[in-house]
Each structure stands twice: as C-alpha cells, then as structure tokens.
Amino acid sequence: MSQLHPVTQPESKDLQLLSEISQLLTMLDLDRVLQTVIDLAAKSVGAAKTSLFLQDGTDIDWEHIVVTRDLSSDQSIAVVRRVMDTGLAGWVSRTREGTIIEDTFHDDRWHVFPDDKYPVRSALCVPFLHNDRLLAILTLVHPEPNHFTRHHLMVMTIIANQASVAIHNAQLFYRVQALLRQLEIMLKAIPDALFIMDDQGDIILINQAAGELLGIDSDAAEGRTIAEFSEIDSSLIPVRDITTESIKTGEQWSFDVRSEQQKRDFLVTMSVWEKPSQIITKMGYVAVMHDITRLRDLSRFKDTMMSIASHDLRTPLSLIVGYCDLIGLDVEPESPTAQYLEVIRRSTNRMNTMLDDLLRVEQLRSSPLELHEQVAMGDLVTKVMDNLQPVAGRKKHQLDLASDLDVLPRLMVDPIMLREAMENYITNAIKYTPDGGHITVQAYVSSVDGDGGGERFNYVVQDNGLGIPEQYINRLFDSFFRAKQPGTEKIEGTGLGLSLVKTVVERHSGEVWVETQTGVGSRFGFWLPIRKQNE
C-alpha cells in the first residue's frame, strides 16, 4: 500500500497561480488582462516592482505599457526605450529567452538610470511568445540580490506561456473593437442613407443620414422592419419589395426613387451581403440611397428649356427667314445686301438644324424604346447605303459595301432609330474625308468570348480621311464636342451626330467604339447583342 505524500506549500501556490492564470482566457479587455498578469506575477515571486509592455510588430505598443513605479507617461516611455536599446528587456527581446540577474552590480545587461531613486539588485525577465511571435516582455525586480531563483524563472515561463494566449485573444478583440469604432464613425460620416437588413427585411443597422430621412434616431431603428418604414416614406417601397423576394447570392439592383414626403430624389444601389461562414448562415441586404435631387431638378429645368427651344425659338427663326426672303425680293442678286441676307439664311438654317438635332437626341434619351419589330439587318444596311450614295457622290467619294448581307440576322430593334445611327456614321465619314476619298461599310456577325458566349451584330464604317488626334478620342461621343484640327475649319456640324449614335446603340444594349490615326483615317463601329427568341 503506497503512502500519500502531502503537497508542499510552494507546489500548492504554483497550482493556485496556474488556476488563476487560466481564468485570463475568459477575459477580452486587454488592459485588464495585462494588469492581472502583472499582479499575479508579482505576487507569485514576491517582486517589489514590475513592468510589462506589448510589442506591436517590430515596435512597442505605446498605448499598453504598465510600469508599477512612480513615473509619468513620458518617463515610462523614455525608460522603456532605453531598456529596449541597452537593458535587460532588449536582451530578452533579441534572444527570446527568459533570464535572471542575480546582482545588477555585476551584470552588464542591467541599465542603471542615474536619477533612479529606487534601488534594484536582482531582476527576472521573461518573453511572452505566441506562434513564435513576440507579444510582450515582463520584467520583475527586487531591491535585494539573489532574490529570484530558477524555480521562479520556471514558474514565470509557465505563466508567460499561458498568458500569451489570453493576451493574443485580447489583442484580437481590441483590434476588432477599434475597427468597429472606425466603421461606425465612417458610417455616420457618409452623407448617403445606409440601410443594412437581414434576409427577412429586419433592420440591423442604419446610419445617421438614414435616421434623418426617417425622422428618428439611428439607434431606434434596430429590430424594426423596412416594411414598417416604407409606410412612413414611399421611397422605401421598392426596397421593401426586394426584401420580400427569394434572396440570391450576388444579386444587385440600381433604381431611382422619389420621396414625396420630403420632395427628394434618390439613386438606390442595393446588393446582397453573403453569409460570412458556415457557422453564420444568415444573409441579408445593403441599400444605399444617394440624394440626386439637384440632378433631377437640373433635368427638369433642362426639359423646360428644351420645351422653350422647341416652340418659342421656332417662331423668331421663322420670322427671320421670312423677312430675309421679303427683303431679297427688292435686292439685286449681285449686291452686297444679297450676300448679307444669304449669311443670315445660312446661320438661321444652322440654328434650325441644331435645334432639330438637339431635340432628336433628347427624344431618344427620354422617350420609351419599343423594340417590337423584327428587322432584317441586311435590308436595313441596303437602305442606308442607297440613302447615302448620292451624298457621297457629291464629294466624289467611293462608298462600298464589303459584306455578305444574306447571312445577316433578323434582330428585334427600332428600325428608324438604328437606321439614323448607321447613316450618322457614314455622314460623319463623308464630312471628314477629302473629296475623292474611299469609305467602306462592313456588317457582319461575330462570336463573343468568355462566360455565356453568344453572338453580336457588328457595323463598321472605315474611311481614309483626316483622322482624329489621340487626345480627342475619349470625347468623340460627347454631345456638342467637335475635334478641332487643321482641315476641319469649314466643316459644318453641331457635334450631336456621334452622341446620337451612342444613345441609340446603348438603348439597344450595344456598345460604340472607334479606331483612328491622324492623316490615315478612322474606323467607327458598334455592336448589338443577338438575342435568342426566348430571351
């Protein structure tokens, strides 16, 4: 029968210490963890003074220095800098080993501060390591030599190993909390109204701008539904409707809404936020409402001005032309007055043309597009070529078609709009190609690479004209823009033709493009998607 040996007092203390250290794992407050580590360490080895400071990468985390001496913050930082450079803590940081100084009078690793009133004769210093990364350094001191023993070093090493996990966890929590505070400040600073909802439309978070939109404090919205607030402000009805649908990963929406209650217009961008892990399986929605009231007011003002231009300007222009004709009846054809009248007629006609082009572009942008007609693209291209041959002939251009029209598809398009876009490309080439030039039209089908595949209808007009300087290429399709270069001074135009082409093509879900070289010529083209019958 074996005899049980009583546990000695030192071993009992060590077990009690380890038990208290293990409780650190439940703490997430970093400052509290550090203070508890210092208190337990000092108590376990009978240290008179202690210091602990964290490493942040390759530098000291100056926010977390704990020194149990009568030092100010600036003094503590100065002490830490010095001991990391020439003292015991620096030696432990470099070697990553715990050590004991039995007598500081006979060990060069101890740095003595001349104005230090507290005597130190023995010291113990251990590193806190986590996955080979140095987290912190703990130093304990005593006014008597040979106070710390190898047993103390072993105990402190065990404490350091246990406490490192707690410090690491607390650091992670501290950083997450700091990021959350930064995110909260950013969300409050965003001028756009932000709504974060779960998959049922219950509000998780709104920012201050959203709270102002709803007339409530932002904290008061949590747990309430977007459907409830849609009854307060009608602009949220589309958002509510989306949250009632079956949620799908990666879905996005963008639409305009108007708040009749506040007389404000918004562009709403809405998307699905996905589940972050297998543990958290919920998904939800994020909606951002950008105030575009000023833009919409400008658009409404523009519509008013367009109405004025289309009606009120027509009358004076007609009167000018009429009176020019009346005056012309009493003027000799070869007189200077007749020439002045001709300048007035040309200028008036140009203003009328500009008004027509401007109204046409605006009509294309604002009117509903009804793609209800199946059009044979070969027939449409033939009609365009027939219409422009006389125009090209007046400048002695050779206008050729380099395509097999019989293989072109039938597309669901607006034939009037598309024909005008095709003719604008050719008219533009005729204008900017000197007399006797060569213009080639191509129409063909190409395959689309990448996801989804499919085919496109392509339309290209190539000329050997003046070409366009590279610095103007990005603006060619802007309204009223005309590239200024030698040889174009006498070419008339409003700068709306290419803008009209771009508008028509984009409303057919296509894309315009251009390739050009000064003095060589240009290639203007666009493509339209070829959709299947069930699309």
The reply to whether 25 falls in a domain is: yes
Q: Quick count: other Cβ atoms within 10 Å of Cβ 280?
A: 8
Predicted local confidence at residue 122, as pLDDT: 93
pLDDT for the residue numbered 54 = 78
Mean pLDDT of 480-487: 67
**349: phi then psi, degrees, rounded to nearest 5:** -65, -35
**Rounded CA Rg of the chain:** 40
Q: Inter-axis angle of helices 293-311 and 336-366, to 10 degrees?
A: 140
Residues 110 and 201 both lie in one domain: no
Whether residue 165 is found in the same domain as residue 195: no
pLDDT at 345: 81
Q: What is the pLDDT of residue 102?
A: 93
Q: Which of 268, 302, 299 is nearest to 285 (CA)?
A: 268
Is residue 55 within 8 A of residue 89, CB to CB? The reply is no
| 8 — pLDDT class (breaks 50, 70, 90) | very low
Residue 466: the pLDDT is: 84
Is pTM beyond 0.75? Reply is: no
DSSP state of 510: -
The DSSP annotation for 183-221 comes to HHHHHHH-SSEEEEEETTSBEEEE-HHHHHHHTS-GGGG
- Model confidence band, residue 7 (pLDDT cutoffs 50, 70, 90): very low
Query: Amino acid identity of 64?
Result: H
pLDDT at residue 485, rounded to an integer: 67
Looking at the domain assignment, is residue 468 inside a domain?
Answer: yes
pLDDT computed for residue 338 by the predictor: 81
Same-domain pairing of 484 and 414: yes
Asked if residue 106 is part of any domain, the answer here is yes
In a domain, residue 1? The reply is: no
SS3 87: coil
Closest alpha carbon to 400 in 457, 428, 438? 438
Give me the phi and psi of 269, to 5 degrees please. -115, 125
Q: What is the pLDDT of residue 440?
A: 94
Q: For 341, what's the count of Cα atoms within 13 Å in the CB-facing half-sphere?
A: 18
CATH number at residue 18: 3.30.450.40
Same domain, yes or no: 382 and 423: yes
Select from 373, 380, 374, 424 the least CA-distant residue to 401. Answer: 380
Of the residues 146, 164, 181, which one is the last residue of a structural domain? Answer: 181
Q: State how far the Cα of 183 lies from the Cα of 43, in Å rounded to an integer.
A: 41
350 domain residue, yes or no: yes
Average pLDDT, integer, range 307-336: 76
pLDDT exceeds 90 at position 461: yes
Q: What is the pLDDT of residues 46-104, one digit of tens each?
A: 888 888 887 765 555 555 565 655 556 666 677 778 888 888 888 988 888 999 999 99
End-to-end CA distance of the chain: 89
Share of the chain above pLDDT 70, in %: 78
Work out the average pLDDT over 193-218: 84
**Looking at 18-22, 208-212, 401-405, which range is the least confident one?**
18-22
- State whether 79 and 39 are in the same domain: yes
Q: What is the mean pLDDT of the chain?
A: 80
Q: How confident is the model at residue 4 (pLDDT cuts 50, 70, 90)?
A: very low
Q: How far apart are CA 479 and CA 482, in angstroms?
A: 9
Angstrom distance (rounded) from CA 98 to CA 126: 4
Query: What pLDDT shows up at residue 308?
Result: 65
Q: Are residues 161 and 14 in the same domain?
A: yes
Q: CA-to-CA distance for 41 and 51, rounded, in angstroms? A: 10
CATH number of the domain residue 273 falls in: 3.30.450.20
* Euclidean distance between CA atoms 200 and 247, whole angstroms: 9
Residue that wins the pLDDT comparison between 384 and 220: 384
Query: Are 387 and 353 part of one and the same domain?
Result: no
Evaluate if residue 19 carries a pLDDT over 90. Answer: no
Q: In which element (H, E) is residue 424 found?
A: helix 415-431
- Select the more confidently predicted residue: 529 or 63: 529
The phi, psi pair for 2, rounded to 5°, reads -75, 150
**pLDDT recorded at residue 426:** 93
Domain assignment present for 131: yes
Whole-angstrom Cα distance, residue 366 to residue 310? 15
Helices (H) and strands (E) in the chain — how many of each?
14, 17
**Whole-angstrom distance, CA of residue 348 vs CA of residue 264:** 40
Please report the pLDDT score of residue 89 as a whole number.
86
What average pLDDT score do residues 154-166 get?
Answer: 84
In a domain, 166, yes or no: yes
Q: Are residues 79 and 121 in the same domain?
A: yes
Answer whether residue 52 is part of any domain. yes
3-state secondary structure 272-313: EECCCCCCCCCCEEEEEEEECHHHHHHHHHHHHHHHHHHHCC
Indicate if 303 and 165 belong to the same structural domain.
no
3-class DSSP assignment, residue 130: strand
Query: For 139-153, what is each residue's pLDDT tens digit?
Result: 899 999 999 999 889
Q: Find the helix packing angle between 415-431 and 377-394, rounded to 10°.
A: 30
Same domain, yes or no: 393 and 278:
no
Length of the chain as a residue count: 535
Sheet of 438-447, strand order: 398-401, 438-447, 455-463, 521-530, 511-517
Above 50 in pLDDT, residue 3? Answer: no
Which among 237, 268, 291 is the end of a domain? 291
> What's the average model confidence in pLDDT over 310-318?
70
Rounded to an integer, the average pLDDT of 167-182 is 80
Domain count, the chain: 4
pLDDT band, residue 431 (cuts 50/70/90): confident
pLDDT of residue 383: 92
Of 32-46, 68-82, 472-486, the range with the lowest mean pLDDT is 68-82
pLDDT at residue 164, as a whole number: 84
Per-residue pLDDT, 2: 36
Give yes or no: residues 25 and 141 share one domain: yes
Q: Would you state the pLDDT for residue 406? A: 86
Q: Quick one: pLDDT band at residue 279, thresholds 50, 70, 90?
A: very low
pLDDT in tens, 210-267: 888 888 887 777 778 888 888 888 888 898 888 887 766 667 888 888 888 878 888 8
Q: Which residue in 200, 187, 192, 195 sits closest to 236, CA to CA?
A: 195
Name the least confident of 82-86, 416-420, 514-518. 82-86
pLDDT (mean) for 263-280: 74
More confident residue, 59 or 429: 429
Q: Give residue 405's domain range.
A: 373-530
Kindly state whether residues 30 and 119 are assigned to the same domain. yes
Which residue, of 324, 347, 366, is where some domain finishes? Answer: 366
Tell me how far apart the alpha carbons of residues 212 and 395 are, in angstroms, rounded to a whole number: 64
